[in-house]
């Protein structure tokens, strides 16, 4: 990418905006201060602080600390996957159903093979999710149909499959090996293992999106699909990649769900797709594609889940949690709009001065 911009500059094309004269460190600090991730993180810290002031157990007891980190773990994974899909200007409404299938599959596999190593369960769950994501991706990319409709349809199909398969039965903790269930509660240096898994995954996806060529191309596909085609990017393949990634992460989330809660029924993860989209939107991922980071989405997921448990602490009935989440989403997109308008104005001013 860099060589092309360089040659443009060399050819004497007039640039709209001069390259910044500020030193790199100042620019880094400035962009960090202006970043959406930081502002959401500050809100998250304020929520935690307010709850901790009312009841220090919220953070400083071992149970409180563990729950604070464990509760968002599942949504972190889904939000990361959703971010990748939304960046390509699509949306995946089937992740809740994929989570359900994967969680039930994990239970079933352990019921029929009690001695199976837990790691294999993770692999099976991820593979199943990736397969379902592949179905979504292929239909969306090659059928040339809107992702929202397709994933709405596959949501019905996947959920129908798991409900037909599971019926009204329940897989309980006694049917899963202790080694697996231990993962749900085990801590390393007081940090829950599942939280570490989620953070590592989010970091990996974030690294892929910011550095890998195909990751950068996802942004290009989302910000202008027609231009991406003209430029020669493999748009269909990238869209399939995004859906496979989202499906695989939802599959992983299903295994984590089984490990964390120990019981699985056919309704696991229903409705969580909206929370995943909401986490991404609050975290600054533009629903119109091409912008946003998994970091933002992860912090957004943390905020949504933490508000849930923090509200009773600060004396507000937990029934109001959803209303607050809704207000938060709207505030976040209004903020996006205001910032975008300000940036557009600055760019126009810069052009007029030039």
Site residues (CB under 8 A) for another protein?
91, 139, 143-146, 148-150, 152-157, 159-161, 163-164, 271, 274, 277-278, 281, 287-288, 317, 319-327, 329-330, 333-334, 337
| 201 or 311: CB nearest another protein | 311
* Ramachandran region, residue 105 (left: φ > 0; alpha: ψ -120 to 50; beta: rest): alpha
Shortest Cβ distance from residue 320 to another protein (Å)? 4
Q: Which residue in 59, 74, 236 sits closest to 144, CA to CA?
A: 236
* Residues contacting residue 343 through CB under 8 Å, at least 6 positions apart: none
| 73 or 155: CB nearest another protein | 155
Shortest Cβ distance from residue 137 to another protein (Å)? 13
Q: What are 24's two structure tokens? A: 């790199």
| 94 or 102: CB nearest another protein | 94
Shortest Cβ distance from residue 149 to another protein (Å)? 5
| 117 or 160: CB nearest another protein | 160
| 298 or 325: CB nearest another protein | 325
3-state secondary structure string across 319-352? HHHHHHHHHHHHHHHHHHHHHHHHHHHHHHHHHH
Shortest Cβ distance from residue 231 to another protein (Å)? 23
What angle is formed at CA 336 by the lines to CA 270 and CA 23, rounded to 5 degrees?
120
Shortest Cβ distance from residue 170 to another protein (Å)? 16
| 338 or 354: CB nearest another protein | 338
User: How many C-beta neighbours within 10 Å does residue 2 have?
Assistant: 6
Ramachandran angles phi, psi of 191, nearest 5°: -105, 125
Q: What are 303's two structure tokens? A: 């905020």
Shortest Cβ distance from residue 27 to another protein (Å)? 30
């Amino acid at each position: 990418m860099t060589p092309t911009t360089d040659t443009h500059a060399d050819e004497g094309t007039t640039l709209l905006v001069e390259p910044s004269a500020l030193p790199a460190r100042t620019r880094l600090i400035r962009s960090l201060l202006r970043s959406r991730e930081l502002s959401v993180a500050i809100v998250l810290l304020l929520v935690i602080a307010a709850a901790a002031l009312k009841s220090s157990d919220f953070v400083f007891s071992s149970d409180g600390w563990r729950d604070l980190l464990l509760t968002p773990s599942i949504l972190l994974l889904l939000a990361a996957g959703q971010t990748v899909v939304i960046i390509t200007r699509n949306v995946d409404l089937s992740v809740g159903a994929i989570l359900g299938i994967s969680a039930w599959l994990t239970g079933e596999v352990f019921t029929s093979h009690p001695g199976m190593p837990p790691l294999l369960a993770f692999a099976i769950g991820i593979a199943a999710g990736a397969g379902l994501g592949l179905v979504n991706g292929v239909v969306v990319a090659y059928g040339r149909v809107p992702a929202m409709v397709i994933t709405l349809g596959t949501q019905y199909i996947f959920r129908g499959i798991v409900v037909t398969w599971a019926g009204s039965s329940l897989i309980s903790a006694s049917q899963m090996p202790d080694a697996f269930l231990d993962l749900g509660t085990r801590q390393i240096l007081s940090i829950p293992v599942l939280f570490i898994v989620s953070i590592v995954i989010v970091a990996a996806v974030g690294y892929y999106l910011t550095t890998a060529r195909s990751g950068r191309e996802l942004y290009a596909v989302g910000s202008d699909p027609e231009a991406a085609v003209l430029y020669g990017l493999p748009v269909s393949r990238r869209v399939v990649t995004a859906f496979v990634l989202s499906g695989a992460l939802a599959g992983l989330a299903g295994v984590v769900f089984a490990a964390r809660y120990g019981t699985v029924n056919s309704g696991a993860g229903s409705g969580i797709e909206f929370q995943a989209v909401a986490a991404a939107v609050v975290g600054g991922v533009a629903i119109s594609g091409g912008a946003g980071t998994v970091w933002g989405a992860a912090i957004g997921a943390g905020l949504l889940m933490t508000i849930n448990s923090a509200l009773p602490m600060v004396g507000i009935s937990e029934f109001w949690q959803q209303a607050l989440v809704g207000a938060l989403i709207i505030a976040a997109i209004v903020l996006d709009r205001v910032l975008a308008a300000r940036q557009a104005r600055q760019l126009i001013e810069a052009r007029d001065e030039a």
